[in-house]
Structure 1
């Protein structure tokens, strides 16, 4: 290995890669991205709550489903977080908040990521699941019910035929069907610049926010690495995470899992992937950061 590469390895220190120390609050804020296995992590946190003396909240001060929030709504949310008791875990689908701009104290921030193509496929079948529709129609009993043809729509054909629901157009802002195809949006924030799909600028903002504000961004694709990093970088909330996961593996891994998802053809995945160049750049950035955090632990303490 070249000497400069070795010197870079030896400068990897957990203390330099851990943003937990910069938090102003003893509050964990998991602004969970959609379809990244966030419900599994929520389940794990709930199992750890008693032992780690945590209170887990899954609803904030606003009941919204919009892609972004107004400055006033962001301020309400930030002020609400500031008033949470120490030891609180706050979990909700929402975008990154600029606590500095909102003149509010910072919590410890975490999130998860997933392969972008797999996320899109997962969302397609999730919105057609009995689980999702039971929740939706309990909240909106008068909403029109989708046709049987919509529920049975084949994803491979949907992509190949040019069906608007299955088109992922770079720099598009308005979507023909509501979805969460922008994984980076959860990390970019609420400004208009974050909305264009697969936008290089939005991706760079998201990467900067991860680097500066997130203690850990994990992935269930690397379960052991993710849980190890959570345990060591945020011990207040994740002490015993690996042992808890082993004890409750079935509950955690089966949370909101769709076991009826059909096989998607490789050429269809490749076709979608062509339009996700920048989303993949963000995804790989987060994974690389996670690996660096894990490697720093191994170098620092001989961790296995």
Structure 2
């Protein structure tokens, strides 16, 4: 006899137990109990025998690999849904892969254009875009690295985090490594863009940039770039112009020193940790590859980029008052940037290789790795002046540093 909290007095209690998701055996017990006439041993024995047969039949089905075909067809006819399917916890959201992306954007390599696109795409595709407001701290202490990586890991997925910061090795601290993407450009063009942007800003207004660099004196602001290069000012010399490679080398102190070690480590990280490193000179192809490799983030990015509405805003990011130095100054600058150009050429070759693998025909064939104006160059550039090891933007804003000459 069934006793305890499940002992029903009427059919309403039986239905209440069914609603709670009781097992088939328990429900049958309730039905048998309701049907038993009180004080009839023969009927009681018959009901117990029926229950025993049901249990043995259930055991036989489980031991022989499942129910017979007729029962499966009956279940399909009645439907697969159960009470717990309809009233259980919600099905967890299936995340796209990868669902953690970091864009450790290199300065003056089209990053503001890409961030503008990402803001539109984040709203369109419903992923979390976190764009850091910190622009002048690319090198971090060990504790700062751990804090930043933990903060990034807590962002609801899928997310794309972007900041001017040198490569962070999450696995070193036993944290899941996100996928990296980035874009670089010709090193001399990047340097020229940064040189004039610091002084005169972009089409959004020169006055805005005067406010941004209030400590820059007029003598520095209007310093001729040829003088800066040829007279070996710190801003136009190593290690200040060793800029792109550290973004891929990482946080190791040796990554800041121009040399083979930093160069090779940067190349290794590109191969092992970056899904794509594009080049700004082929930005449309970069966007097309991102659309194919990360469709849940970049789907329709190329059509947005080509739209007149976007170009109306995007054109405001162009640097003003930019002009090309003399041939002599360019030759000197190129020699100082040999590691930057080695890395740039490596990335360009890898980018073209990915395009060929995907079947994207390149409209920019790879030519000689040395610029035309330097192919006959035989001059040697004197060793540049060493500079203090400090944060780049803070050092550049120091009004006294730029006056130091060899």
**TM-score, with length taken from structure 1:** 0.79
Q: Deviations over 1:91-126 (max 9, x none)?
A: 110011111101111222111111111111111112
Q: Contact 1:59 / 1:92 at 8 angstroms: preserved in 2?
A: yes
Question: In 2, Cα distance between the equivalents of 1:100 and 1:136?
Answer: 41
> 1:19 aligns to what?
none
* Equivalent in the alignment of 2:237: 167
The partner residue of 2:115 within 22, 31, 42 is 42
- Give deviations 1:220-247, integer Å, cap 9, x for gaps: 2012321121111111211111111111
Q: Residue in 2 aligned with 1:105?
A: 176
How do 1:1-304 residues align onto structure 2 when only pairs under 5 Å count? 26-59=99-132, 63=134, 65-130=136-201, 134=208, 137=211, 145-168=215-238, 172=239, 181-197=242-258, 199-247=259-307, 248-251=309-312, 253-298=314-359
Q: Give the unaligned 5+ runs of structure 2.
A: 1-95, 364-406
Helix, strand or coil: the match of 1:100? Answer: helix
Q: CA 1:102–1:251 in structure 2 vs 1: closer, same or farther (change >3 Å)?
A: farther
- How far has the Cα of 1:137 moved from its partner? 4.8
For residues 255 and 274 of structure 1, the distance between their equivalents in structure 2, rounded to whole angstroms, comes to: 32
Query: CA offset at residue 64 of structure 1?
Result: 7.2
Structure with the bigger RCO (C-alpha within 8 Å, sep 6+) is: 1
Distance 2:316 2:144 in 1: 30
Evaluate the alpha carbon distance shift between residue 30 and residue 67 of structure 1 in structure 2; reply closer, same or farther with a 3 A threshold. Answer: closer
Report the CA distance between 1:215 and its aligned residue.
0.7
Find runs of 4+ consecutive structure 1 residues off by over 3 angstroms: 130-138
Greater CA deviation, 201-210 or 286-295? 286-295
- Name the count of aligned residue pairs: 264
- d(CA) in 2 for partners of 1:203 and 1:56? 30
Flag the structure with larger Rg. 2
**What is the Cα-based RMSD across aligned positions, in Å?**
2.6
Q: Which sections of structure 1, spanning at least 5 residues, go unmatched?
A: 1-22, 173-178
SS in 2 for 1:106: coil
Tell me which protein shows more helix as a share of its residues.
2
Q: What SS class does the counterpart of residue 224 from structure 1 fall into?
A: helix
